[in-house]
Amino acid sequence: MDKVINFFNNFLESSFFYFPQMNFYTLECVVWTFMISWLISRFEPLQWFIKIFPNNKLRFLIETLTTCIKCVSLYMGLIISGNIFLPAFSSFIAMIYDKTIGQWETKIKFK
């Protein structure tokens, strides 16, 4: 069994998709970044609060920045981590979410 595990580890280290900086802290930060960006972009009371702004240009700018989950996860990842790896990974997860589950959210209205 140890030979199989060693072979698998050696294969992963030599493959193209090996990230030596990927550890549990990085994955935890990606999950937190995604969850915060989901809360900002999908939380209705926050969106209602943004619509209160009287200035149309300011309101349009804030709505543009806070309604796209991919953009918000990129910005939040840059704020949380400071490097480009974590925001790119978080934005990739947000893109997958937006293309799959996000379409279900728009089609299903819970009332």
Closest CA to 28 of 84, 71, 86: 86
Its domain, for residue 77, covers 25-107
Q: Is residue 3 part of a domain?
A: no
Position 18, amino acid: Y
Q: Is residue 8 part of a domain?
A: no
Tell me the pLDDT tens digit for each residue of 52-76. Answer: 878 888 888 888 888 888 889 998 8
Q: Is residue 34 part of a domain?
A: yes
The predicted structure's pLDDT at residue 11: 60
Q: Is residue 18 part of a domain?
A: no
Position 42, amino acid: R
d(CA 65, CA 47): 11
Tokens 């009287």 sit on residue: 54
Q: Is residue 29 part of a domain?
A: yes
Q: Is residue 14 part of a domain?
A: no
Confidence check: pLDDT of 44 > 60: yes
Domain count, the chain: 1
Mean pLDDT of the chain: 78
Q: Is residue 84 part of a domain?
A: yes
Cα-Cα end-to-end distance for the chain: 53
Q: Is residue 44 part of a domain?
A: yes
Q: Do residues 67 and 47 make contact, with C-beta atoms less than 8 angstroms apart? A: yes
